[in-house]
Amino acid sequence: MNAKDIKAVSEMKAELTAPPFVPKSTADREATKLKVDMEILEETGEMADGVEYVYWTFGGSVPGSFIRTKVGDEVEFTLKNHPDNKLPHNIDLHAVNGPGGGAASSFVAPGHEITFSFKTLNPGLYVYHCATAPVGMHIANGMYGLILVEPEEGLAPVDREYYVMQGDFYTKGEFGEQGEQPFDMQKAIDEDADYVVFNGSVGALTGDGALQAKVGETIRLFVGNGGPNLVSSFHAIGEIFDRVHVEGGDLINENVQTTLIPAGGAAIVEFEVDVPGELVLVDHSIFRAFNKGALAMINVTGEEDKDVFAGTIQEGIYLPEGGTIQSMPSDDEDDAKEETAAVELSKAEKMELGKKVYGSTCFACHQADGQGIENAFPPLANADYLNDDVNRAIDIVLRGKSGEITVNGKTYNSVMTAQNLTDKEVAAVMTYIYNSWDNNGTEVTEEMVRKVRKK
């Protein structure tokens, strides 16, 4: 039957969910008159530790609420612009056959609401976004989400479904620069993203926010790319996509390692998880993952299967390295930032800032508790090499170190890259390290860092 001829047999309010969750399947219902009620909110949120950003949102989250429909639904869409908002907005749903994808009928000022309707004709996974001028700016501030139009029979059942959406953000400050960061239009025009993230912020899908699964389960990810600029090379470290609905449509590709998702596009990826451990979702334009935030985790629990994978899993090795620009150690170059004059932080303030710097810069190699990675990166916890000479430790942070060192009786031969940190950041992170994990409690000052830097 032509989708235009499908009649809605009932009426219901749409279930809308915040990421990473999705509403229940439509397989057990017929086409209906579906009432969608969505509120636009402009609100401050956390882009990264200590970094705030004013997001413009559909439903109070980035990405916006997930909308699940089926072919033949008659959608009555009410868009509300909260009275505290500063700007007018609208919505362009790529699932709509009509002017502007609904944008022409949904322009709404703060303190007002508007209702428009459309019929879902084409099955697939579609992006929606604000299309109010300047369109790129509205999208860049987080105004995008996904709408699923299921086929009449619904999608095949799976064990778990999740909602993941990539976006690129452009701020006045560099990656990790503290405080509230305003949008930078010139960086956006130049496509010079400071942050490339899943679900609106660095670490949104790591730690307590990581996705969950069990061995043997099949996972379906509804993956979108809000852009506004960058194409995503979506990849799961440690798994292969069994099935990919290419660009969210009917074409299915199998046994896929990495799938391209264009800005303003989507894909449905499905895979069975075979062994326990941490799977890592990344944009495989890889510096975006480890230096700009495009990284998410799936924690898989269950029994090991040595026939599938007999190696040892090292948790955390793919956690973010942060946005600090790193360089190989050199005797002749000093690429670190010059510190501007400022009041010396208190020890408590250094500990707070140092923890954030450690989390964005040192965590991937030296791990959460400073234990390092066996046979690769030395420990910082209760480390004799660190505690014996604070100036040497500062110098390594500033200029890097290569060659053999012995820490707590064990030899390591790797490279520590020079860190492009300010004097304030070096003093803070070194103070944090020296006052953690049974180290000697040294408080490092900015003056100490300056003296080492000038040598």
Binding-site residue positions for Cu cation = 89, 94, 129-130, 138, 143, 284
Q: Which candidate, 297, 244, 298, places its Cα nearest to that of 271?
A: 244
Residue 388: is it exposed, middle or buried by C-beta count within 10 angstroms (0-12/13-18/19+)?
Answer: exposed
Q: Which of 138, 161, 247, 423 is catalytic?
A: 138
Q: Which of 47, 130, 365, 430 is catalytic?
A: 130
The token duo for 294 is: 């495009």
**Active site (annotated) includes residue 129:** yes
**Active site (annotated) includes residue 284:** yes
The token duo for 140 is: 């860049």
Q: Which of 92, 270, 278, 425 is catalytic?
A: 92
Q: Which candidate, 122, 146, 155, places its Cα nearest to that of 27?
A: 155
In a 3-state reduction of DSSP, which class is residue 258?
Answer: strand
Q: Which of 47, 57, 73, 235 is catalytic?
A: 235
Q: Which candidate, 401, 352, 353, 350, places its Cα nearest to that of 378?
A: 401
The token duo for 267 is: 């894909």
Q: Which of 180, 250, 254, 304 is catalytic?
A: 254
Q: Which of 46, 284, 443, 445 is catalytic?
A: 284
Q: Which of 42, 129, 362, 417 is catalytic?
A: 129
Query: Cα separation of 393 and 293, whole Å?
Result: 27
Q: Which of 143, 165, 365, 430 is catalytic?
A: 143
**Active site (annotated) includes residue 254:** yes
**Active site (annotated) includes residue 138:** yes
**Active site (annotated) includes residue 208:** no
**Active site (annotated) includes residue 245:** no
Query: Cα separation of 160 and 214, whole Å?
Result: 10
CB 324 within 8 A of CB 176: yes
In a 3-state reduction of DSSP, which class is residue 65?
Answer: coil
The token duo for 159 is: 């064990």
Q: How many CB atoms lie within 10 A of CB 49?
A: 19
Q: How many CB atoms lie within 10 A of CB 315?
A: 12
Query: Cα separation of 73 and 119, whole Å?
Result: 6
Query: Cα separation of 266 and 188, whole Å?
Result: 21
Q: How many Cα neighbours within 13 Å face the side chain of 374? A: 4
Cα angle for residues 37, 43, 46 (degrees, 5° grid):
120
Residues whose CB is less than 8 angstroms from the CB of residue 115 and which lie 6 or more positions away in sequence, other chains included: 76, 77, 78, 79
What are the angstrom distances between the C-alpha of 368 and each of 248, 347, 443?
Answer: 37, 21, 20
Residue 276: is it exposed, middle or buried by C-beta count within 10 angstroms (0-12/13-18/19+)?
Answer: middle
What are the angstrom distances between the C-alpha of 303 and each of 69, 195, 277, 446?
Answer: 37, 36, 10, 50
Q: Which of 78, 115, 258, 442 is catalytic?
A: 258
CB 200 within 8 A of CB 212: no
**Active site (annotated) includes residue 42:** no
Binding residues: 89, 94, 129-130, 138, 143, 284
Q: Which of 39, 57, 69, 94 is catalytic?
A: 94
The token duo for 165 is: 């959406």
Catalytic residue positions? 89, 92, 94, 129-130, 138, 143, 235, 254, 258, 284
